[in-house]
Structure 1
Amino acid sequence: MDPVKPRLTVRDMCMAAVHAVRASWTADRRGVLTVVGLQLTTAVGLAGALLLLRGMVNDVMTSVDGSGTGVDLGRLIPGVIVLVALGAAGGILQMLSGVRQQILTDRVDRHVISLVLGTAAHTGLLEFEDPDFHDRLQRAVHASRRNPAMVVMMLVEMLQAALTVLAIAGVFITIAWWLLPLATLSALPLFKAAKDRRNAVYAMHHSLAENHRRRQYLEQLLTCRDEAKEIRALNLGATLHARWDTEYAQELTGMTRLIRTHAGREIRAKLLSSALILGVIASVWTLVNTGMVSLAAASTGLAGLWLLSSRIGSASQMLNSVGQTLYFFKDLHNFAAAGAEPPPALTEPASPFRTLRARGVTFTYPGAARPTLHGVDISLHQGEIIALVGANGSGKTTLAKILAGLYAPTGGTLVRDGDPATDLYQLRHGCAVVFQDFVRYKLTAHDNIAFGRIDDQPDDSRIGHAAEAAGVSALLESLPNGYHTVLGREFTDGTDLSGGQWQKLAIARAFYRDAPFVILDEPTAALDPQAEADLFARIRHLFAGRTVLLISHRFSSVRSADRIYVLDSGRVIEHGTHTELMRTQGRYAELFLTQAAGYLDAAPA
């Protein structure tokens, strides 16, 4: 079944235009006023030129009819000079308007792209699990990167066309008012065809949002450094390129079909519009021959009609090419309007908690058929090291994200020191997390650590202390530019780190955050055995007074925890100390002995 196409109305377009004007006004008020003023001046000059032309033609006709002799060209020279001067002034104004329009569009580009990035940055993590959110984000990014400048240019062109129409209409009222409704009638087929095409293009792009995201992902796989080694090791380049080409072909096929369909409609609309204008010209000629309209009035009116039809044709072409951008601007506005407010900047250190409990916590991902967590109960106390263990997919990382304030539970509650913990930002403020798939920021080593507490001014001494605690200070000091070395070979004078070195840097970021609650999700997965042993031997000392939640598949790392929770299919099935769990001979003992057996089998006889 085909997806329902979005319904687009004239009201939608008008509202999108209002949003575009507001964005332009916010981005560059002076630029908007300057462009409008220049366009208004140009339109007034055009009206003056038409009235002057009418007077000159009237003088010529009067001279010929009155004397029967030749026309005194000397009487026309002042008028010609004024017309040339008006033409030159109009050209200069158009040039100045073009320069100012470019500055305006650049500033609007910056404003709307910043709007999208800011909204995305402050959107809750759970939204990123929703495919519909990614479609809306894709359409907003498409609008911000390709269309804001086009929207501004289109609105300026529409303003210019509207002012020109008003100027010419003012002239028609004095010389041939009845031409105006006829000229307006000739524009209707062009604008109707433009509207139909605009709606069709928008509907097509609306349906291709996920196609665009798949293509962008394939482009990332084919062009990014981190993926390059595996793509070449598996010889996937040609396969991924072919898939990208297939995805692109879907859009091109749809666009080709759309263009062919609407090209025929636009040709018929143009022929009908031209036929109506020819009818106006024939009517004027008949009226001149019968003496009902003077030749001077008819000539000036037809000149104005030619200018008006030219403007109308230009406006319809403009709507054909970029009219749908107003609808994309609507997507951008809707995305930004739905975004969360940025969290307040908290510079005070987070206060430690005595207890943090999850009571009957349930969680279901958007679109999932069943919950990931089912009625989980867990307690964490100040100064304890608590471990979560279980098979892949048991819900350990999801539970950690809820305790860190990244997700709100869909059922149950979090209780902090006896009170419900509903402020997710406060939970995040008091938590430092090292994920297994931590981000490798291709910025300086200094930034990689300082990002741990971005609300504060970077403290070089604390950064050095955090690096030393994570066991990475000697490495960073040996880099070409020390802590200010860029960690990315794609950049000038940049370098790279090994997987274990990157992981130590992520741990240093957690140390620098200096939070009372620390979550370590497989914190030693990329470390060698000696580095792992050194870290865990010191972890209680390094995080003294803090609560540590440790997620690990390595049971040698968790056996010294104060309490161990075993998760299976989103439920806590066991908890206790290592000794207690081994004594019960349950799931934990089974997993521990299975892992230990692998090492015992490898030991020499």
Structure 2
Amino acid sequence: MKKTKIFGLFLKEVWRTNKLQFLYLILTSIFASGQALLVIYLSKMVIDNVFTLDLKSFAISLGLLLLGKLSLSLLTNLFTKKNKEATLKTEKLMNKSLSDKIMNLEYSLLEDPKVLDLRERAAFPITSIRIIESFVGYIGKIVTGLLTLFGVVVLIAMQSIILLGLIILVIIAGIIFSVKMQNSIKKQQESIIPWNRVTNYLFSIAMNDGEQKNHRIYNTSKLVIDKTFEAMQPMFEGLNRIYRSVAGLSISRNIASTIAQSLALGYGAIRVLSTTFGPSISIGDFSVIISSTEKFTNAMGEVVFYFNEILVNIDYLQPWGEFMMLPDHKLEGKDKNMGPLETLEFRNVTFKYPNTDKVILDNISFSINKGEKISIVGINNAGKSTMVKLIMRFFKPDSGQILWNGIDISTLDNETYLKNISGVFQDFKLFPFSIYENLLIDQSGEQKVWDSLEKVGLKKRVEALPNGVHTNLDKSLDENATNFSGGENQKLAIARAINKEASLLILDEPTAALDPIAESEIFEHFSQLVEQKTSIYISHRMSSSTFCDKVLVIDEAKIAAFDSHKELMKTENKYSELFNVQAQNYI
């Protein structure tokens, strides 16, 4: 993406999230530049009144100067504060916007490693280096500088167009040199990024809790420390080059500013002392020339500097811009009249993942009735989890239909549809909130939480905690929290799934982290856990099929069988083959 497009997208997003940001920024700039111009002009009046010995006019002009400066200073401070508050709100809202984008992203993109990497790089400038605050600050400085420039250009031009032209030429020459220096600094900064990444990685190895055993057993700490300092050396050399360039940049600005102010000083002195370049001017006019030139050089320097800062730092927003332009997960269905599940039917469904040629499901058809417990089995990558993703509408079939009570799910309102589905997935996540909040999410009822904990065998464990179900998970965020084992977390995920008032329950490897005894308990009480809900159960452990009503066997993208465990074991087929092989391995 071009820098102008990224910056335009950034401004558009700021405008969308917080329009007051622009109002406060503009008002702050107006009052800040107005204060500077007011001081220049009213100071001239004060000085001229001193030399004319007009005491009354002197008092009035001095009073106006003090009152005007105080008023504009207070207004500048007020709107600077408002602008900072607005910036914090903008940061918060743009963080939310980024989160919303992630949540609404086309699901297929979330399985693309390049998109996952882009997501991390998109979040970095927003969450880690607070680039929104920086850019709002840059824009504010530029607007203030431009308004100040306009004012002082008028004041200088009123004295001499020639002087204004000379000052502009000197400042432009200094700007060209400064821009080259800033670009050089940018390249030097980029040159140390790889070494910075290596150093951070080595530091993480040194500090990582999981590596401490290796450090102590194999005495690797000295090796890691030596490697870290070895990687830091070129980084320090790069930083020294940057510091020297920054010093050179400062010197170049000072030289240009000094030349411009010397021209103004010489020209003003000549105009005061003679009529060589025109009528003699007052000391007040002399002060206007000197002050305006100083403000001109400072304002022009700030405008160019902060504009270049935007150009340099816009690269940080490149991943953000690309990420925000990715397509959303669009579901066009609007029908909310679906009702609880009576039948779920796959009708001639064919599917292959985007940008691949391998057919995962090939013209499959089957139906599940209300209250049935179905086990889906097959070898790895047979398409078991893919079927779940299709049911959840994460992907669309390439052909065929999935019908909920005879209605094509693509026509249903997605929010209403997903309210009827609950599940535990292989890569389930629990939030670092309380157990209660994790198990009910947007519902209420503490007794319901305790009932579900009892069903999965965690009630006594949670009762022993100081805050019971109101205990937070994850000690890394709360020292009073608790850390459950992997198996206990999986039980919590199962409890969360059975708590949701949904008519279809999907369990994709729900016992993968459980030990054999805990898994056996879940299997034995499976009917009680799911109650009357229609259930789809996916597991690599074939024994899970024995407590289900039917077993759906997938082989080579087709349905190889769909019958009860008892019936399937009567003949030689793919299911009996898989079941017997696994049974032998467990004996």
TM-score (norm 1): 0.76
SS of residue paired to 1:371:
coil
Deviation at 1:357, TM superposition (A): 0.9
Deviation at 1:558, TM superposition (A): 0.9
Higher alpha-carbon deviation: 185-194 or 258-267:
258-267
Give the whole-Å Cα distance in 2 for the aligned partners of 1:228 and 1:427.
Answer: 46
Partner of 1:402: 390
Deviation at 1:254, TM superposition (A): 12
Partner of 1:277: 260
- Work out which of the residue numbers 444, 462, 469 in structure 2 matches 1:483: 469
Deviation at 1:308, TM superposition (A): 0.9
Deviation at 1:186, TM superposition (A): 4.4
RMSD over equivalenced CA pairs, Å: 4.9
Partner of 1:108: 90
SS of residue paired to 1:550:
strand
Give the whole-Å Cα distance in 1 for the aligned partners of 2:288 and 2:162.
Answer: 13
Give the whole-Å Cα distance in 1 for the aligned partners of 2:482 and 2:91.
Answer: 33
Q: Does 1:508 align with 2:483?
A: no
Q: What is the identity, as a one-letter code, of the residue corresponding to 2:342?
A: F
Q: Does 1:318 align with 2:306?
A: yes
- Work out which of the residue numbers 279, 295, 302 in structure 1 matches 2:290: 302
TM-score (norm 2): 0.78
Deviation at 1:235, TM superposition (A): 7.9
Q: 1:597 to 1:121 in 2, by over 3 A?
A: same
Asked if structure 2 preserves the Cα contact closer than 8 Å seen for 1:32 and 1:104, the reply is no
Q: Does 1:466 align with 2:452?
A: yes
Q: What is the identity, as a one-letter code, of the residue corresponding to 2:150?
A: L
Q: What is the identity, as a one-letter code, of the residue corresponding to 1:313?
A: G
- Work out which of the residue numbers 385, 405, 409 in structure 2 matches 1:421: 409
Asked if structure 2 preserves the Cα contact closer than 8 Å seen for 1:353 and 1:417, the reply is yes
Higher alpha-carbon deviation: 172-181 or 196-205:
196-205
Give the whole-Å Cα distance in 2 for the aligned partners of 1:376 and 1:212.
Answer: 52
Q: What is the identity, as a one-letter code, of the residue corresponding to 1:364?
A: Y
Q: 1:13 to 1:446 in 2, by over 3 A?
A: closer
Partner of 1:521: 508
Q: What is the identity, as a one-letter code, of the residue corresponding to 2:138?
A: M
Q: 1:197 to 1:115 in 2, by over 3 A?
A: farther
Give the whole-Å Cα distance in 1 for the aligned partners of 2:194 and 2:526.
Answer: 44
Higher alpha-carbon deviation: 476-485 or 144-153:
476-485
Map residues 56-455 of structure 1 onto 2, 5 A cutoff: 83=65, 92-145=74-127, 146-188=130-172, 270=253, 273=256, 277=260, 281=264, 284=267, 288=271, 290-292=276-278, 294-296=280-282, 297=285, 299-321=287-309, 324-325=312-313, 328=316, 332=320, 335-336=323-324, 338=326, 340=328, 351-357=340-346, 359-364=348-353, 369-371=356-358, 373-375=360-362, 377-382=364-369, 383-422=371-410, 423=412, 425-451=415-441, 454=442
State the Cα deviation string for residues 275-308 of structure 1 (Å, max 9, x = none).
Answer: 9737954983697452325344455223201111
Q: What is the identity, as a one-letter code, of the residue corresponding to 2:574?
A: R
Q: Aligned pairs, how many? A: 575
Give the whole-Å Cα distance in 2 for the aligned partners of 1:413 and 1:223.
Answer: 53
Asked if structure 1 preserves the Cα contact closer than 8 Å seen for 2:46 and 2:58, the reply is yes
SS of residue paired to 2:426:
coil
State the Cα deviation string for residues 16-66 of structure 1 (Å, max 9, x = none).
Answer: 4454455442xxx2x7545543542343343233233444555678x6xxx
Q: What is the identity, as a one-letter code, of the residue corresponding to 2:444?
A: P
Give the whole-Å Cα distance in 2 for the aligned partners of 1:263 and 1:104.
Answer: 32
Q: What is the identity, as a one-letter code, of the residue corresponding to 1:397?
A: S
Give the whole-Å Cα distance in 2 for the aligned partners of 1:217 and 1:380.
Answer: 52
Q: What is the identity, as a one-letter code, of the residue corresponding to 1:487?
A: L
Partner of 1:551: 538
Deviation at 1:444, TM superposition (A): 1.5
Q: 1:205 to 1:425 in 2, by over 3 A?
A: farther
Q: 1:418 to 1:584 in 2, by over 3 A?
A: same
State the Cα deviation string for residues 362-389 of structure 1 (Å, max 9, x = none).
Answer: 12156xx543614151524122222222
Asked if structure 2 preserves the Cα contact closer than 8 Å seen for 1:218 and 1:240, the reply is no
SS of residue paired to 1:559:
helix
Deviation at 1:549, TM superposition (A): 1.5
Q: What is the identity, as a one-letter code, of the residue corresponding to 1:100?
A: K
Long gaps (5+) in structure 1: 1-5, 64-70, 601-605
Identity %: 21
- Work out which of the residue numbers 549, 554, 559 in structure 2 matches 1:562: 549
Asked if structure 2 preserves the Cα contact closer than 8 Å seen for 1:198 and 1:323, the reply is no
